[in-house]
Amino acid sequence: MALLRLASAVPSGLRALLVLRASAWACLLCFTTYTERVSICRMFAGLQGPRIDQCKEALTAAFQGLSDMEINYEERSHLHDNFTQMTLSLQEEAAAGGSFEVAFPAAAEKMKRAILELKKVQPCVPPCGIQEVARRFRCQGCYSTLCDLPLDCPVQDMTLRTRDASYFRDMPRARGSLARIRPVQPTHRGTFCCVIQHDQRPLARLYFFLNVTGPPPRGETELQVVFRKVLRWAPRDVEMIEPWRPSLDELLARPEALTLGNLVLLTAVIALVSATATVLLWMFCRWYLSGD
């Protein structure tokens, strides 16, 4: 029984040790890779030997003060850039023959000052609701978290127009590229919010105010069907409309047909007929007189 208790106690102790060591340099684990940390120690202490183990322990001890840091979620990229710059600086110092006993505490102190210069975490505003502006990143676990407040706020009847999502008392979710709004009542109105999220962060939010009325009466529906049929109707044989060419009798019988063009044409015809008659009469007279 003693051996059994000892065997069960060893894994528990190892787990506690691993958790303790992981939380001791949590920010370093979040923003640097294992390869980068081993490369730094190898440059300071060589490839093998007890010095490399001492280097790893010194790196852990130097960053113990960054074990449970909370930063603004928007400042992750800036902090990652600071750790990248710190890694390059340590590699340059190791190449110059520096000592890790001096370099690691100085780098950790410089990193603390850099974290203090980042944008502060926004405080949570009670009593409820999702507050993205207060999202924070925790180094102990390398995850982001929101305010520990209830999501459902007390129901209050109010009429307003706003883009603040915290005022909405009912936020149904729909996943995928197609979202259907299926209300119970056939006639309804209200504001609907459509949100596109990535990594639990909203990328775009659109608001739509819908005013849905009931179905039209049956008679109106039938009238719309008939109207659509009329719009789609087309005659089979399309009749060609010929231009109207009135005769002389029609022009004389219908004064309204005497347009300016028709009047000019009629005058020209009368003049031509008169000239032709005159010429024919003159030729007849000459022929008659020449015979005598």
Q: Among residues of the chain, what percentage have pLDDT more than 70?
A: 66
- So what's the pLDDT on residue 240? 60
Ramachandran region of residue 8, left (φ > 0), alpha (ψ -120 to 50) or beta? alpha
Quick: pLDDT tens for 106-146.
999 999 899 888 888 888 888 887 788 888 998 888 888 88
Indicate whether 54 pLDDT > 50: yes
* C-alpha to C-alpha distance for 104 and 101, rounded to whole angstroms: 6
Domain ranges of the chain: 19-116, 248-291
Quick: pLDDT tens for 275-285.
999 988 888 88
Answer yes or no: pTM beyond 0.75: no
Quick: pLDDT tens for 237-271.
555 666 666 666 666 666 666 677 777 877 888 88
Q: What is the largest CA-CA distance in the chain?
A: 172
- So what's the pLDDT on residue 7? 35
Indicate whether 85 pLDDT > 90: yes
* C-alpha to C-alpha distance for 286 and 292, rounded to whole angstroms: 10
Name the more confident of 91 and 192: 91
- So what's the pLDDT on residue 15? 36
